[in-house]
Amino acid sequence: MGDSKILKYYIRKRSRRSTEDEETKDRLSSLPDAILTDILSRLTIHSAATTSVLSHRWRHLWTTITRLKLGVHETDESTKSNGSTTIDHILRQITSPKLLAFDLDYSSMLSVIPRFSESEPWFSEICRRNVENFTLNTVEGYPFRIPACLVNSQSLVSLQLYGTLKSKLPKNGDSSLCSSFHLPNLKLLTLCTLDNVPNWLSKLIRSCPNLEDLSLSFELDYNPPSYFALGIIAPNLKSMCIRMQPCNEMQRTRISVDAPKLTNLEIYDWSSIYNFVRNPTALVKARMSLKRLFVGYVVLVNWGGNCYLEEMSKFVGGLSSVSNLELLLESHSNIFGCPNSGKLPIFSNVVNLETNFFKDLLFSLDCFPNLEHLVVSIWSQPADLAMEQRYWLPPNTIPYCLLSKLRTIKIKGLQAIGDDLRLLAYILSNANVLEKLCIDVRMMDVIKAKNEREEADIVWKEGQYCRSLFKLPRSSSTCEIVVSGRSVNAFGNALQNGYLTCQMYVGK
């Protein structure tokens, strides 16, 4: 009897579910073709094509999709061997005269990557459909030739090419890249990764009068000329990112930038010399990493004496409108202390500064009169250098930002030695409005601890350092100090007899 009731319950539940499914299907089918096409365009091509079995109306609806993402999954052995044929078949089936987005992924095709002669008709067909957003991912080491149709498209708004891009001009009879470019509506251009600084790149950028976002990445080959030049002229450019990885110490590039509307700038490049034709007055955020991208490369900050630092100090001075600045240099360097750079730039709008230079650190604060938040990373600083050698001597006048603006300071890499305390004592005694001081302690002899006794000695040294730090007098009555060590962590902002009191925790 009980089983009979349970069976009737599931029959009723299944009937209701079937009715709901039919109602849902009816509501979906009642939508106009334009909405259904938009829905199908957001599915994978396999899922979209599968809907052709639903009814006569759905049979060819998937062929009107406006967004395509194609690639061959390496786990599908049967499809992998016929990747080119599959893509050809799909492109022949699509009837939409307008493609909003086309994404072609070679990275999953591996050993069956099509030859350029096989894939060139795809690009011609895609451009014929007035594609707006084109993205290509190629396999590393597979040189992709940029087709002429892609750099002469009236409809393209976004062009993103990832992989190894062949940057040399074509030989006679090669239609991969023509000498003329015309991209009147392009707003976003990403080229990653070029094996050279091609002489056609400047011309390509100039052919994009509405370009707003530019991202370039270079991994220069091993037999390049010793000198490159690149001109970036983009009157409407708002965001630019450049990554340059040279292969030897003799490679250098001069990059001239004329982008007066630039608001966001990122540069990861330790060899090139940059200059502004016109300083971008709308610049808000800039990140410049003039450090080696990989350990083992020769540092170029010393070639030609101080030539590199002098030239780059002028370029950094052109960033004076920024409010957020991140500036990372090689060790023992400071653009603001360059002897022949002329008058030091004043960054009146900078509120947030993150840097790693320790040389003339306090002196450099004069360049940032309205600085409120400062982060300094000095992990590579040798522990055995005296304070005079670190150039941490107090300046003749107290920096204005330290007296009246700085609210938070974070210093990473202090080594729990006496000279560090002298630096912190100067900061605490002059930072009138400081709200928080964070210290990350890195004791250089930690890696030498081999037994419990040595570990205990490290704990004792960190504890003593914290006690000394919290005994320093401060000018800000509300300042909280936070210390993060390997084994000791301490924090506090309570004032007692003119000194800070703190809570200290010991343990990894």
Looking at the fold, whether 10 and 39 belong to one and the same domain comes out as no
What pLDDT sits at residue 3? 47
Kindly state whether residue 500 falls inside one of the protein's structural domains. Answer: yes
Full domain range(s) for residue 19: 1-30
What pLDDT sits at residue 6? 43
DSSP letters, 362-415, are: HHHGGG-TT--EEEEE-TT--TT--HHHHT-PPPSS--HHHHHT--EEEEEEE-
Kindly state whether residue 213 falls inside one of the protein's structural domains. Answer: no
Give CA 135 to chain center in angstroms: 18
Kindly state whether residue 239 falls inside one of the protein's structural domains. Answer: no
What pLDDT sits at residue 449? 55
Looking at the fold, whether 25 and 36 belong to one and the same domain comes out as no
Looking at the fold, whether 45 and 25 belong to one and the same domain comes out as no
Kindly state whether residue 390 falls inside one of the protein's structural domains. Answer: yes
Helix (H) or strand (E) holding 480: strand 480-484
Residue 248 has pLDDT above 50, yes or no: yes
Residue 232 has pLDDT above 60, yes or no: yes
Looking at the fold, whether 414 and 446 belong to one and the same domain comes out as yes
pLDDT digits (tens, 9 = 90+) for 428-482: 999 999 999 998 887 654 455 556 777 777 778 878 888 888 888 889 888 888 8
Mean pLDDT: which of 26-40, 152-166, 203-217, 284-298 is highest? 203-217
- The answer to whether the pTM exceeds 0.85 is no
SS3 call for 113: coil
Looking at the fold, whether 11 and 48 belong to one and the same domain comes out as no
Determine the length of the chain: 508
Q: How far is CA 19 from CA 15, 25, 56, 392, in A?
A: 6, 10, 22, 78
171 pLDDT tier (thresholds 50, 70, 90): very low
d(CA 136, CA 107): 9
Looking at the fold, whether 45 and 17 belong to one and the same domain comes out as no
- What mean pLDDT is predicted for residues 52-56? 82
Nearest to 63 by CA among 5, 139, 155, 129: 129
d(CA 479, CA 434): 6
Number of domains comprising the chain:
3
Kindly state whether residue 264 falls inside one of the protein's structural domains. Answer: no
Q: How far is CA 493 from CA 5, 249, 411, 480, 501, in A?
A: 70, 49, 18, 4, 7
Torsion sign across C-alpha atoms 18, 21, 27, 32: negative
251 pLDDT tier (thresholds 50, 70, 90): low
Question: Of 116-120, 183-187, 248-252, 277-281, which gets the smallest average pLDDT?
Answer: 248-252
Contact 367, 347 (CB under 8 A): yes
Kindly state whether residue 261 falls inside one of the protein's structural domains. Answer: no
Strand ranges inside 195-323, DSSP E: 213-219, 227-233, 239-245, 252-258, 264-269, 273-276, 285-289
pLDDT digits (tens, 9 = 90+) for 471-488: 888 898 888 888 887 777
Looking at the fold, whether 14 and 51 belong to one and the same domain comes out as no
Kindly state whether residue 121 falls inside one of the protein's structural domains. Answer: no
d(CA 440, CA 493): 17
Last residue of a domain, one of 65, 85, 117: 65
What pLDDT sits at residue 296? 40
Looking at the fold, whether 387 and 428 belong to one and the same domain comes out as yes
Instruction: Tell the residue number behind the tokens 């890249």, with chain if given.
Output: 177
Q: Which residues pair with 491 in a beta bridge?
A: 482, 503
332 pLDDT tier (thresholds 50, 70, 90): low
Residue 300 has pLDDT above 60, yes or no: no
Could you count the other beta carbons within 10 Å of the beta carbon of residue 11?
10
Looking at the fold, whether 56 and 1 belong to one and the same domain comes out as no
Kindly state whether residue 86 falls inside one of the protein's structural domains. Answer: no
d(CA 216, CA 96): 32
Measured in Å, how far apart are the chain's first and last C-alpha atoms?
Answer: 65
